[in-house]
Amino acid sequence: MSDVAGPVLDRALEDLPPELRWREWMRRIEAVLFASASPVPRGDLARVVGQGASVDLLIEDLAADLAGRPYEVARVADGWLLRTRSIYAPAIRAAADVGGQDLDLREFDVAVLTAIACHQPITRDGLKDIFGHEISRDLIGRLHARDLIATGPRAPRRGAPYTFVTTEAFLVAFGIQSLGDLPDPEQLADAGVTPAVD
């Protein structure tokens, strides 16, 4: 059995002048983000640049370099990704079959998802208290199937109900870095996205 290793990555790039070294590190980060379907954490990006190079500053320069391009670097969850700027969504829909990527959420689905995000972990009874009626298992199943929610922690007692929490896919789908970026529940109720909670 042969042990075939790929070429060793020269992270330091000491043979390059500083400005070209920086540009190469930016391009490496761009390549990693381009190849990834999910947000790439800082630690993973740090593995492709020289020791002491600031991933945050490289990302800032890459974002500036991409200004005016149809895609951008976005901070989502605990990492970064490349995404198409929303202004180009109609062009993409007109030219490509994106049916499998479209969330196809109804207004009420978004309201339930928002309630889960704001009150997580939350039980079905908790959702019933917010909306005034039972939330269908079908809706919960659709949100699970799209990986927007997951089963959360249960109380440590026999027969405790399941809870629901949002996932990293939720953050990615809605382009937010963390749940702290959500408006507070009162603002959402005032905007009519979710019912008012007493």
The residue ranges of every structural domain in the chain are 18-88, 107-190
Q: Hey, what are 111's tokens? A: 């309201």
CB 32 within 8 A of CB 62: no
Give residue 97's pLDDT.
61
What value does the mean pLDDT of the chain take? Answer: 85
Give residue 2's pLDDT.
45
Give residue 106's pLDDT.
85
Instruction: Give me the mean pLDDT over the 64-68 stretch.
Output: 94
Q: What is the DSSP letter of 21?
A: H
Q: Do domains 18-88 and 107-190 have the same CATH topology?
A: yes
Quickly name the fold that domain 18-88 has: Arc Repressor Mutant, subunit A (1.10.10)
Instruction: Give me the mean pLDDT over the 94-107 stretch.
Output: 69
Read out DSSP for 3-19? ---PPPP-SS-TTS-HH
Q: Hey, what are 79's tokens? A: 């990492």
Assign 89 a pLDDT band (cuts: 50, 70, 90): confident
| pTM (two decimals) | 0.61
pLDDT of 93 higher than 80: no
**Could you tell me which of 53, 46, 45 has the C-alpha nearest to residue 21?**
53
Other residues' Cβ atoms within 10 Å of the Cβ of residue 90:
9
Quickly name the fold that domain 107-190 has: Arc Repressor Mutant, subunit A (1.10.10)
